Amino acid sequence: MALTPSQEIDKFIKELTDSRGKWIAKFRELILKTAPEVIEEWKWGVPVWAYKGNVVASGVFKDHVKLNFFKGASLKDPKKLFNAGLEAKATRAIDIGENDKVDEKDLKELIRAAVDFNSKK
């Protein structure tokens, strides 16, 4: 029996026994609290949160987690959270290493802006 997207994400987090799993779990919690209208999807082997289109995906790399905002180039980023993929046409990303700090309030504002952007399409 196939797993639901939420079950796939649970499994993904559980299998990441280091800081990357904690980051993905934290980010998931933040996005679901900030934008309860989003749905969880499992695409390209990674968690994706969507509302009227893809909003953000979370990938893992050897030493960091990447939060990839699909329409990031169209979002205001006054706190300069985006630190990766800055040359991309549409997307912007935040790379987070094990000991990095991310202001939750700022991240929530960015999540909300991304969901609102998709709502206006």
- What DSSP letter does each residue of 32-94 carry, written as one string? HHH-TT-EEEEETTEEEEESSSEEEEEEE-SSEEEEEETTGGGS--TT----B-TTSSS-EEE
Write down the pLDDT at residue 44: 96
Task: List the domain range (segments joined by +) for residue 82.
Answer: 5-119
Q: Domain tally for the chain?
A: 1
User: Packing angle between helix 19-34 and helix 104-119, nearest 10 degrees?
Assistant: 50
CATH assignment of the domain containing 17? 3.90.1150.200
Residue-wise pLDDT for 59-81, tens only, equals 999 999 999 999 999 999 999 99
The mean pLDDT of 12-32, rounded to a whole number, is: 95
Q: Is the pTM of this model over 0.75?
A: yes
Half-sphere CA count of 30, side-chain side, radius 13 A: 20
If pLDDT is split at 50, 70 and 90, which confidence band does 58 have?
Answer: very high
Q: Which residue has the higher pLDDT, 121 or 91?
A: 91
CB contact at 8 A, 115 and 107: no
Write down the pLDDT at residue 95: 97
Residue 17 CB-density burial (10 A; 0-12 exposed, 13-18 middle, 19+ buried): exposed
Write down the pLDDT at residue 1: 81
